[in-house]
Structure 1
Amino acid sequence: MNNFFKLIEQFRTQDEPAYCGLASLAMTLNTLNIDPRRTWKGPWRWFHEEMLDCCHPLPKVREEGITLTQAACLARCNGARVELYPYGSVGLAEFRAMVAEACHSAEEHIIVSYSRKEFLQTGDGHFSPIGGYSAKEDLVLILDTARFKYPPHWVPLEMLHNAMARIDPATGRPRGFMRMGRHPRLDSVLFTLDVRDEHWRQASRYTLEHMAGVVAAAAAAPGATAQGILTAAACGAPAAALRKFIAVRTAGSSTHGGVCIQTAAVHTFLRELRGTPLFAAC
């Protein structure tokens, strides 16, 4: 239960009935000492539920809550390292090993998305961090963020695993869990690159396989200049891919394929990029 002592310092009650996912995320982000890179109140930089609005509008969250994929998007957008495990991606034994490892190390934490119906509790879908594990009794401690309904409570690990198997009506699929930790280095404050996109892979291949040849040919041309060589290298790149793989971290974005995309900020960035002399030379 090494993770318990860090989590309990940040234990909170959700502000809205449907904010269990946001409360679990805020609690875990603060536990991991991740900098929100913006102030909360006055000079203090601290995660609060109302700050987690970059993947799903808060008015909709108040009405509908969030799905596991949206929770993972929020965690990534706010600087956490996230591993997402929909139900069925790992078996019971592997889930038990992950829980035991996280509770022992306290370097990462697990948030589960499950159905309360499995525990004969009122309500259905819910998010909570796991606050501890008893190997002797095979029990996990649920740090329930809806403390107006239930205090922290122990449940059999196998029962929790079954609770994740119940279908989420919002997605038509089972639920699951995610492991959250800190990145070994800071993310960009302004934007991140979605390296899963095919457009990014095209840009990567150009950089690794073709750009050296383009630069060499431009340098060998009569009257070659540094500006000309740089222009040739830039013009040879698949610059149109920028629209696809750049995601800027600001408020008010939407989720597309699990990726936080800031449409207005992307267009602003591209407009400024097109205004540079180098781009004009292409």
Structure 2
Amino acid sequence: MNPTIRRTTVSLLILLIGLLLNQAPSFADELVSWNSNEGISRLEQARVKHDFYALTPHFEGQSNKVFCGVASMAIVANTLRVDRDATDIPLDESRISTQERRFFPKGDWSPFFHRYTQESILTGQGKTRIEIMGAPSDSDSEGDYGMKLSDLDALAASLKFKTQTTYVAEDKLLDQTYSIKVKQHLIDALSNNEQFVIINYSRKPLNQRGDGHFSPLAAYHAASDSFLIMDVSNTFQTWVWVESKQLMQAMARIDKQNSRGFIVISEDS
């Protein structure tokens, strides 16, 4: 090839690549830590963020590696039901032994709060604690540790919550109308002060370590078209902003037979 033509071709390629990079939004397909400068800016600018402030006082990391669904449910349940005068949430007396309690004041005083814990929230209906740990069940002779979206829905129902469960279909994501509808469902739920969202997704499309996971969704930032995931695995993952298209792909990943998705939880009034 003529040296002049080669130099011209290379120059044009460099120019074209530069134009493409400049046209791509800086936030595309990137996870943004919630406490980074960009993450803080998004939260400040977001108009849909009520759930972030409602959930934060009740946030707790999952107590073990298979309790992401349990921890997410405990956070949401406490957000919906705990108040100063709450007495109808059962006390979890497992966290302080009888021997330790003998040093407390006598009488009716109790060291326990009326709030859900990751132990007490498992009602015994639906998937049991031992089955979450991987023990075989009548419906699954091989055992399956953790929870599926249907298991979380059953747990919410056993706690007398109203639920709306959505499975995100991977084969429909190319349909823009479908994707917009699913995204709007999430935004509408986050915009409703009486509803809270727990997402079930695979970490792999987010380029995170691990696979299936549950966590509450906390906010939406329109300018970057991103959602804030309040990750309950906070020992090795921070809370992150995720672009909506990437989140849809993560929720569409198959968990055994069905896709993943999300559940909208509210009181059954």
Q: Normalising by structure 1, report the TM-score.
A: 0.61
Which sits farther off after the overlay, 54-63 or 108-117?
54-63
Check the 8 A contact 1:17/1:62 in 2, yes or no: no
Secondary structure of the residue aligned to 1:146 is coil
Aligned match of 1:75 in 117, 131, 156?
156
Cα distance in 2 between the residues matched to 1:45 and 1:57: 22
Aligned match of 2:259 in 146, 159, 174?
174
Q: Normalising by structure 2, report the TM-score.
A: 0.64
Q: In the TM superposition, what whole-angstrom CA distance separates every residue of 1:165-221 from its partner, at most 9, and x where no partner exists?
A: 11113xx2211111001111xxxxxxxxxxxxxxxxxxxxxxxxxxxxxxxxxxxxx
**Structure 1 position 23 matched with structure 2 position 71:** yes
Q: In the TM superposition, what whole-angstrom CA distance separates every residue of 1:131-155 from its partner, at most 9, and x where no partner exists?
A: 1000111100000000011111110
Check the 8 A contact 2:90/2:116 in 1, yes or no: no
Shift of 1:50: 1.1
Q: Larger % of helix: which?
A: 1
Check the 8 A contact 1:86/1:175 in 2, yes or no: yes
Shift of 1:60: 2.3
Number of aligned residue pairs: 182
**Structure 1 position 141 matched with structure 2 position 252:** no
Letter in 2 for 1:65: G
- Structure 2 stretches of 5 or more lacking a match? 1-48, 94-109, 135-144
| Greater RCO (CA < 8 Å, at least 6 residues apart) | 2
1:1-282 alignment runs, 5 A limit: 1-33=49-81, 37-41=89-93, 42=110, 43-51=112-120, 52=122, 53-63=124-134, 64-88=145-169, 91-169=178-256, 172-184=257-269
Cα distance in 1 between the residues matched to 2:229 and 2:59: 11
Which sits farther off after the overlay, 1-10 or 42-51?
42-51
Secondary structure of the residue aligned to 2:133 is helix
Identical aligned pairs, as a percentage?
28
Which sits farther off after the overlay, 90-99 or 119-128?
90-99
- Structure 1 stretches of 5 or more lacking a match? 185-282
Shift of 1:117: 0.3
Secondary structure of the residue aligned to 1:55 is coil
Cα distance in 2 between the residues matched to 1:104 and 1:173: 28
Letter in 2 for 1:176: G
Letter in 1 for 2:248: H
Which sits farther off after the overlay, 91-100 or 112-121?
91-100
Cα distance in 1 between the residues matched to 2:153 and 2:92: 22
Shift of 1:106: 2.2
